[in-house]
Amino acid sequence: MRVGMPLTKFLLEEQRRLPHSTGNFTGLFSDLLVAAKIISREVNKAGLINILGEAGYSNVQGEEVQKLDEYAHSAIVKTMEHGGHLSGMASEENKGVIKIPDNYPRGGYLLLFDPLDGSSNIDVNISIGTIFSIIRKDSAGETEEKDFLKAGKEQVCAGYIIYGSSTMLVYTTGFGVHGFTLDPSVGEFLLSHENIRMPEKGKIYSINEGNTKNWFPGTQRYIEAVKENGYSARYVGSLVADFHRNLLKGGIFLYPSDRKNAEGKLRLLYEANPLAFIVEQAGGRASTGKERTLEIKPRKLHQRTSLIIGSRADVEEAEKFWREEKAAL
Ligand code: AHM
Ligand code: MG
């Protein structure tokens, strides 16, 4: 067992397993850890920002107190842009591609991220998270939107940081899913959950039932069925938190397309794909109801998608309801 091992050491051990590794990826990931720690620190003192602001402490440079999601966005960009490992970034908080400034070196990877997911929970002390996805840049030349439009199965790495009762980082590079808990006293992520396997089937369903009137009949019938079967409802409203709980305990999370959101609400590249990569690596499943999430060929950066994700048997069961619905049309 390697429990307690610092993430930086764990990454080096993983790197040694790959014979031709150059260390570039490990360098990129180490930069990301710095960003994660900066955001974690800021999230943890979120409730103090106004108090400190009023006391004049946070505005010594005359800067406006930033919204936390914008802060997280710029913390990641600033930490990652000069590392030399990336050729560009894309963020849920930014309309277009984020280029690497001309005077900085470039690398062969692209980073996609949702800097602070669960924005409606930021001000109310409920868990929120950062989600990230790393892909390779295939072509030479200027980084463009089309470089980011790869199916999720081509991800090199995906993960999230959850800012909860403790801060945890969960990631996969396609060799299982590992979880690390931040020990604030030493400022290190320490291995706490090695090789996470998701229960085959759970007893939890997570969906915003306030949307019932907009649901298609397949969703209606599936949710009725899980209730009949004694499932419990758990819906925090932060995707990362709902996903993390289901990953460890088993269960299903749904944000399906409906009459109001024909394409679903969640973003394919910043939310669905990274979590789909993780769930599959942990033995679970993710789909739109009709198509495996990781197979979708994206058309645009901020594309939305229907998402059904969780324990394998639960998602397969839900897909039957979507197939019946399609057959009835
Ligand atoms: P955000 O990226 O603006 O925070 O929106 C994504 C969030 C997810 O974290 C969460 O699962 C979902 O939106 C909740 O949406 P709703 O309030 O419609 O249930
Ligand atoms: Mg989000």
Give the DSSP per-residue string, 273-293: HHHHHHHHHTT-EEESSSSBG
Q: What is the pLDDT of residue 84?
A: 96
User: Is the minimum distance from the CB of 239 to ligand 1 under 6 angstroms?
Assistant: yes
DSSP letter for 185, please: T
Q: Which two tokens stand for residue 70?
A: 């914008």
- pLDDT band for 60, please (50, 70, 90 cuts): very low
238 CB near ligand 1 (under 6 Å) = yes
DSSP codes, 75-123:
HHHHHHTTSSSEEEEEETT-SS-BPPPTTS---SEEEEEEEEE-GGGGG
Q: How far is the CA of 242 from the centre of ligand 1 (A)?
A: 11
Distance 198 CA to ligand 2 centre (A): 23
Cα gap 275→129, rounded to integer Å:
12
Structure tokens at 39: 């955001």
What average pLDDT does the segment 147-173 reach? 97
Average pLDDT of 148-154? 98
For 190, the 3-state DSSP assignment is strand
Tokens of 104: 């900085």
- Distance (angstroms) between ligand 2 centre and the Cα of 131 equals 8
Going edge to edge, which strands form the sheet with 157-163?
A: 86-91, 109-117, 128-136, 157-163, 167-172, 177-183, 188-193
Q: Which helix (H) or strand (E) holds 177?
A: strand 177-183
Q: Is the CB of 117 under 6 A from ligand 1?
A: yes
> Which residue minimizes the CA distance to atom 18 of ligand 1?
208
Is the pLDDT at 91 greater than 70, yes or no?
A: yes
Average pLDDT over residues 172-179: 96
pLDDT digit string, tens, across residues 115-133:
999 988 888 889 999 999 9
Q: Is the CB of 315 under 6 A from ligand 1?
A: no
Sign of the C-alpha dihedral computed for residues 114, 115, 119 and 124 taken in this order: positive
Instruction: State residue 51's pLDDT score.
Output: 55
Which pLDDT does position 228 carry in this prediction?
A: 98
- The pTM score is 0.95
1 or 318, greater pLDDT: 318
Name which residue sits closest to atom 12 of ligand 1, judged by CA: 237
- Tell me phi and psi for residue 83, to 5 degrees: -70, -20
Ligand 1 in reach of 261 Cβ (< 6 A)? no
Q: Which atom of ligand 1 is nearest to the CA of 129?
A: 9
Q: Tell whether the model's pLDDT for residue 220 goes beyond 60.
A: yes
pLDDT value at position 49? 66
Q: Whose alpha carbon is nearest atom 5 of ligand 1?
A: 118
Nearest-atom number in ligand 1 for the CA of 120 is 4
Residue 143 Cα to ligand 2 middle (Å): 24
In the DSSP assignment, the letter for residue 272 is I
| b (16+ CB within 10 A) / e for 28-59 | bbbbbbebbbbbbebbeeeeebeeeeeeeebe
221 burial via Cβ count (<10 Å: 0-12, 13-18, 19+): middle
Phi–psi pair at 238, nearest 5 degrees: -110, 115
208 ligand 1 Cβ < 6 A = yes
Report whether pLDDT(165) > 80.
yes
Mean pLDDT of the chain: 92
Which distant-in-sequence residues (6+ apart) come within 8 Å of 204 by Cβ?
Answer: 231, 232, 233, 234, 245, 246, 249, 250, 251, 252
Statement: residue 329 has pLDDT above 60:
no
Structural domains of the chain in order of their starting residue, each with its CATH number = 7-193 (3.30.540.10), 204-328 (3.40.190.80)
By CB neighbour count within 10 A (0-12 exposed, 13-18 middle, 19+ buried), where does 66 fall?
A: middle
The Cβ-side half-sphere exposure at 131, using a 13 Å CA radius, reads: 27
Mean pLDDT of 173-178: 96
Dist. CA 241 → ligand 2 center (Å): 12
Helix axes 273-281, 239-249, angle to 10 degrees: 10
